[in-house]
Structure 1
Amino acid sequence: MNMKLKICGIKHNPTEVASLSPDYMGFIFYDKSPRYVAEVPEDIPLHIQKVGVFVNASVEDVVEKTKGFGLAAIQLHGDESVEYIELLRHSFRESEINVPEIWKVFGIKDQLDIDALRKFESVSDKFLFDTKGASRGGNGVTFDWQLLKNYNLNTPYWLSGGIGLEEMKEVKIFSQTKAAKKLYGIDINSKVEISPGLKDKKKIHELKTCYDDDRTTLVSR
């Protein structure tokens, strides 16, 4: 499967971003974020998967927004526990909506705690590895991707944290290493912005063109 591209933290110009047809568009429902949105635009094309980003939100709020905005995936960017995710999954099954994928986010600084990740394998469809920083995402800084060389779990993961056009060469190199065996795609945010939540269409186009050119080699193995 070819690796996927997700543009996250979209607030001010979602229609422009959608016109570039990324695989996923992420909308942040965390009111302490400068990229916070209260709703998802109705004109997002059906072929683009909509992702809701939540931080320690109530189960009821996540289910309500998933149902209201047709979210295909839920990205949990807070301190959510295994028990929380189990309850969330149960609530989705009880509701009259398609159950979305659930992605658990882990911030990485100078080590990867495999044991901590293993506890979440049974309740997570994918992991997302971001740079641990002052903010819960959108810090614009990469972490040492070679920390993932010991990742031996079965759950596919997103690579995030400070990825922009300048990092695409390194992404391609990394994708061909053993550490990228379960790499599902890359998550882009602050490096393609004019200001928080306002995406730079030109930068996204250049990055996506570069990314699409390499899709045949950037493959999840």
Structure 2
Amino acid sequence: MEAALDAGADMVGLMFFPKSPRHVSLSQACKLADMARGKAEIVAVTVNMDLDGLSRINELVAPDTFQFHGSESPEACAAVKVMQGTKIMKAVAVSEKADLEEAQYYAIVADRILFDAKPPQGSDLPGGNGVSFDWTLLKDLDLKKPYMLSGGLNVANVAEAIRLSGARAVDVSSAVERERGVKDNDLIRAFIAAAKNA
């Protein structure tokens, strides 16, 4: 968290998904959120979580944004936005141009869309798999909402990904880890520098 903040990360994500190697407990999340508050937007990443769980995160961690990375419907996103009083970011899995149509429905209610690659066959994680999709699919996308690019981004390709997709924001996780679920401060700094330079 310190490395991300020092390097100028605009947003920091806290993962609330027990299957993920990046999962954090509520107590860990509270400490990390306190470090980031006022320095970066705090994003609580969830996957098909029930309203009780979301309410508990909102009450204890007080994130600025909930990122939904499961099969949550546009209606569910809208309900959480009203009930919790937070911003909503919805992840949309992409492998072909037709997948972008789904984003239009979510853009009506979400504050931001996150375009991520569809998980590889056999993966039980909806994101953080280190795979990418054809970035040119996003070029000239008329969404009327901000969006982020995710999936398979790393220090070596993030500049090209920004150029080809037209994305104004990017998301990274597995590519800044020295081993699965363990972040590397130098990789974090290098990625953020590369993204900002692009």
Q: TM-score, normalised by structure 1?
A: 0.78
Structure 1 unmatched runs, 5+? 1-13, 93-98, 215-221
RMSD: 1.9
Which residue in 1 is equivalent to 2:126?
Answer: 136
Map 1:106-125; keep pairs closer than 5 Å. 106-125=92-111
Give the % identical residues.
Answer: 29
Cα–Cα, structure 1 residues 186 and 38, in superposed 2: closer, same or farther, change >3 Å? same
The answer to whether residue 88 in structure 2 is matched with residue 102 in structure 1 is yes
Q: How many residues align?
A: 189
Shift of 1:102: 0.2
TM-score normalised by length of structure 2: 0.86
Q: Does 1:70 align with 2:62?
A: yes
Q: In structure 2, how many angstroms separate the alpha carbons of the residues matched to 1:21 and 1:73?
A: 18
Match of 1:61 in 2: 53
Can you list the C-alpha shifts for 1:108-150, whole angstroms capped at 9, x where unaligned? 1233434322222221111000011122111111110112236
Which among 73, 78, 86 is matched to residue 86 of structure 1?
Answer: 78
More helix by share: 2
Mapped to 2, the partners of 1:202 and 1:193 lie a distance apart of: 10
Identify the range of structure 1 (17-26 vs 192-201) with the bigger mean alpha-carbon deviation. Answer: 17-26
The SS at the match of 1:185 is coil
**Runs of 5+ consecutive residues of structure 2 not aligned to the other structure:** none
Q: What is the SS of the residue equivalent to 2:91?
A: strand
Q: Secondary structure at the match of 1:43?
A: helix
CA distance 1:184–1:72, shift in 2 (3 Å)? farther
* Shift >6 Å, 4+ stretches: none
What is the one-letter code of the residue matched to 1:103?
M
Matched to 1:117, the amino acid is: A
Could you say what secondary structure the match of 1:119 adopts? Answer: helix
1:10-25 matches, within 5 Å, as: 14-25=1-12
Task: Please list, as runs of the form range in 1=range in 2, the aligned pairs for 1:178-217 lying within 5 A after superposition.
Answer: 179-180=165-166, 183-214=167-198
Over residues 30-56 of structure 1, what are the superposed CA-to-partner deviations in whole Å (9 max), with x where a residue is unaligned? Answer: 111111111212333521111000100
**Equivalent residues in 2 for 1:20-59 (5 A)?**
20-39=7-26, 40=29, 41=31, 42-59=34-51
